[in-house]
């Protein structure tokens, strides 16, 4: 695979903080915690990831901010890319330990996901939530006045108890989430574009189809060689024509 820096400016400086934070999570080992699911069943997190790869995210039912829009975005994006239920499931874990199974079902119903086996809404003890949140550098804080949690948005791909890739915040569009899901489904993702550090690439993954295709960087990398060969060919042809004219002049 051909990779070249787009410009000196693209090479300079560290990657954006969000990208660094996401990269730091790759390979993290997650703790095995006990979960209560929306249907009342108890399950260990390790049991779930042994059965199938997981997309894990955090939320809470009373959230007046990003929780529901983020879950809607995840729902729609995984629906586009496919494989849900066959290759992986989504696990939405509330950070509010006071939430009941009725609260979990209400959240699922609000998203039109109630009864879906490929979406798991779960609660855990306050200590277990803090444990897994700490392992993922996910920070949340309860405001004493508003009773709202101050938190960011995080989506983590988990395979056999390890973080495969993470998305922090809400990416623009769904391309990066699609690439995460393709990787979770076992397809090699050569390189994903980093904001402000876009490289030139010969190949890229089409996140909608999962197919590898030629990237525009190939043209940029090959074009100088093509032009050089063309110019050399034209020069050689002109030299041949000149020699032919000189030879005809000598015979006349």
Tell me, yes or no, whether 240 lies in a domain.
no
**Can you give the CATH number for the domain in which 89 is found?**
3.40.30.10
**pLDDT per residue as tens digits for the range 51-76:** 999 999 999 999 988 899 999 999 99
Q: What pLDDT, on the 0 to 100 scale, is given for residue 228? A: 61
Q: What pLDDT, on the 0 to 100 scale, is given for residue 180? A: 75
Number of domains in the chain: 1
Q: Which long-range contacts (CB under 8 A, 24 or more apart) does 152-155 make?
A: 153/57, 153/58, 153/66, 153/67, 153/70, 154/57, 154/58, 155/55, 155/56, 155/57, 155/74, 155/180
What phi and psi values does residue 208 have, to the nearest 5 degrees? -80, -45
Q: What pLDDT, on the 0 to 100 scale, is given for residue 185? A: 73
Tell me, yes or no, whether 57 lies in a domain.
yes
Q: What pLDDT, on the 0 to 100 scale, is given for residue 190? A: 52
**pLDDT per residue as tens digits for the range 184-200:** 777 665 544 444 444 44
Question: Which pLDDT band, with edges at 50, 70 and 90, does 1 fall under?
Answer: very low
Tell me, yes or no, whether 206 lies in a domain.
no
Tell me, yes or no, whether 242 lies in a domain.
no
The reported pTM is 0.68
Residue pair 29/161 in contact by the 8 Å Cβ criterion: yes
Average pLDDT of span 98-109? 97
Tell me, yes or no, whether 106 lies in a domain.
yes
Nearest one of 241, 171, 178, 173 to 205, comparing CA atoms: 178
Question: Which pLDDT band, with edges at 50, 70 and 90, does 214 fall under?
Answer: low
Question: Which pLDDT band, with edges at 50, 70 and 90, does 240 fall under?
Answer: confident
Q: Which domain, by its residues, includes 191?
A: 14-198
Tell me, yes or no, whether 232 lies in a domain.
no
Tell me, yes or no, whether 98 lies in a domain.
yes
Tell me, yes or no, whether 210 lies in a domain.
no
Q: Which of 79-88, 156-165, 186-195, 225-234 has the highest mean pLDDT?
A: 156-165
The proportion of the chain whose per-residue pLDDT surpasses 70, expressed as a percent, equals 66
Average pLDDT of span 206-226? 53
């Amino acid at each position: 695979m051909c990779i070249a820096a787009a410009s000196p400016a693209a090479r300079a400086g560290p990657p954006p903080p969000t990208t660094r934070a996401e990269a730091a999570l790759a390979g993290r080992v997650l703790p095995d915690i006990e979960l209560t699911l929306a249907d009342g069943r108890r399950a260990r997190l390790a049991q779930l990831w042994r059965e199938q790869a997981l997309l894990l995210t955090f939320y809470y039912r009373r959230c007046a901010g990003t929780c529901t829009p983020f879950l809607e975005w995840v729902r729609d994006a995984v629906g586009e890319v496919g494989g849900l239920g066959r290759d992986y499931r989504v696990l939405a874990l509330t950070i509010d330990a006071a939430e009941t199974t009725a609260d979990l079902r209400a959240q699922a119903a609000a998203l039109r996901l109630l009864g879906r086996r490929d979406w798991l809404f779960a609660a855990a003890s306050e200590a277990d939530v803090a444990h897994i949140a700490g392992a993922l550098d996910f920070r949340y804080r309860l405001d004493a006045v508003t009773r709202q949690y101050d938190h960011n948005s995080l989506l983590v791909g988990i395979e056999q108890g390890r973080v495969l890739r993470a998305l922090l915040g809400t990416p623009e569009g769904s391309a990066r989430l699609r690439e995460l899901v393709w990787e979770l489904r076992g397809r090699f993702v050569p390189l994903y574009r980093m904001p402000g550090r876009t490289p030139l690439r010969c190949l890229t993954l089409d996140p909608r189809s999962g197919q590898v295709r030629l990237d525009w960087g190939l043209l940029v990398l090959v074009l100088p060689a093509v032009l050089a060969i063309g110019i050399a060919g034209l020069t050689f042809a002109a030299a041949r024509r000149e020699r032919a004219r000189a030879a005809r002049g000598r015979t006349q």
